[in-house]
């Protein structure tokens, strides 16, 4: 019965993640991806449990093993400057 309760709790967490646009890719590793755009093309951005920020991107239609690191400054950011 405790396992049933834990499974229900996990399903609730996955549903909340999906409502935020996340896709649970590997529960054991805590790997999550979010669909987005990079330089005008559709990509997935990836995050892993224990990391503060997104750590990689991969083409939308690629295999999950085709990942590229996100380096500081590699993705254009809106700094809020309206000049």
Three-state secondary structure along the chain? Answer: CHHHHHHHHHHHHHHHHHHCCEEEEECCCCEEEEEEEECCEEEEEEEECCCCCCCEEEECCCCCCCCEECCCCCCCCCCCCCC
Read off the pLDDT of residues 9-49 as tens digits, 9 standing for 90 and up.
999 999 999 999 999 999 999 999 999 999 899 999 999 99
pTM of the model: 0.73
């Amino acid at each position: 019965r405790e396992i049933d309760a834990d499974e229900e709790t996990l399903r609730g967490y996955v549903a909340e993640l999906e409502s935020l646009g996340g896709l649970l890719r590997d529960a054991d590793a805590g790997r999550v991806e979010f669909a987005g755009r990079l330089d005008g093309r559709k990509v997935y951005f990836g995050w892993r449990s224990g990391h503060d920020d997104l750590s990689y991107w991969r083409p939308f239609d690629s295999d999950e093993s085709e990942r590229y690191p996100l380096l500081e400054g590699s993705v254009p950011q809106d700094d809020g400057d309206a000049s």
